[in-house]
Amino acid sequence: MAEAQLRKHLALVGLMGSGKTTVGRKLAVRLERPFIDADEALAVTTGRSVRKWFDDSGEEAFRAAEVRVLAGLLAADDPSVIATGGGIVCTEPGRALLSRPDVTVVWLRASPAFVANRVMQKANKDHRPLLDEDPRIVLERHARERNDLYAEVADLVVDVDPVHRDAEKPKRTLAEMVFEAFSQIDAEKAARDRAQLARATGDRPGGVPRP
């Protein structure tokens, strides 16, 4: 397997408001890759916003569409940085996509109190239909339901709260932290795959396997 194909895509997961889109954009620049917001891709692909999906078809249909869109994004040849929707881990097919060997998953782990404060400041409920209730209550429930699922698919975990508390430019700092960790993981996996290929070919010139 060529090194260019190793860990082809980087996917950010986490609660809504954890910074996946903002950090993802900065990270994509750092990695010199395209950035894709999965919710925006769903709207473009299906012609319906997240809100429209929930209103017209319900959450179950939305989750199925969300998985189809992510599968298409991960099938692209060019490596990318993808900000996933907060609930992509809620279905087994979504978790299966994120668990593929050619995907590195980074969990931006944030406390419900922190993200509730962020989303209430933005007040963009048209894009976040699950926040029609009290955001604090909703996000606390999501954290209880989803944190174990985020942990299940994550290759890297980055805690958001302390960076926002301590760093002068927290989003840039988070992007740099992910970049450094991702680069290390990618290098380690490339080394393992080179070693595996060498064993398979018996270290023979031209890479011809032993008979």
What is the 3-state composition of the chain as percent helix, strand, coil, each rounded to the nearest 5?
65, 10, 25
Question: Would the CA dihedral through 14, 99, 60, 142 be positive or negative?
Answer: negative
Cβ atoms of 36 and 74 within 8 Å: the answer is: no
Percent of the chain at pLDDT above 90?
63
Residue 144 is assigned to a structural domain of this protein: yes
Give CA 185 to chain center in angstroms.
16
* Element housing 108 (H / E): strand 103-109
According to DSSP, the β-strands at 81-83 and 103-109 are unpaired
Question: Based on the structure, what is the number of domains in the chain?
Answer: 1
CA-CA distance, 66 to 94, in Å (whole number)?
Answer: 8
Using a cut of 0.85, tell me whether the model's pTM lies above it: no
Write out the two tokens for 151: 């942990």
* pLDDT-derived band at 7, boundaries 50, 70, 90: low
Evaluate whether residue 208 is within a structural domain: no
User: Token pair for residue 126?
Assistant: 């048209």
Q: What phi, psi does 33 have (nearest 5°)? A: -130, 160
Mean pLDDT, residues 35-62 taken together: 92
Expressed as residue numbers, the domain containing 130 is 3-199
pLDDT in tens, 152-192: 999 999 999 999 999 999 999 999 999 999 888 877 766 77
* Torsion angles phi and psi, residue 177, rounded to 5: -60, -45
Residue 106 domain-assigned (yes or no): yes
* Segment among 58-67, 141-150, 200-209 with least mean pLDDT: 200-209
In a domain, 210, yes or no: no
3-state secondary structure of 60: helix
Does pLDDT of 103 surpass 50? yes
Residue of 194, 197, 11 lying closest to 102 (CA atoms): 11
Say if CB 87 and CB 66 are below 8 A apart.
Answer: yes
Give the CATH number, domain containing residue 188: 3.40.50.300
Q: Is 211 inside a domain boundary?
A: no
pLDDT at 132: 57
Q: Specify if 206 maps to a domain.
A: no
Residue 204 lies in a domain: no
Kindly report, residue by residue over 108-132, the tens digit of the pLDDT: 999 999 998 887 766 554 455 555 5
Query: In the chain, pLDDT over 70 holds for what percent of residues?
Result: 84
Name which of 98, 83, 85, 105 is nearest 26 in CA terms.
83
**Model confidence at 48: pLDDT above 80:** yes
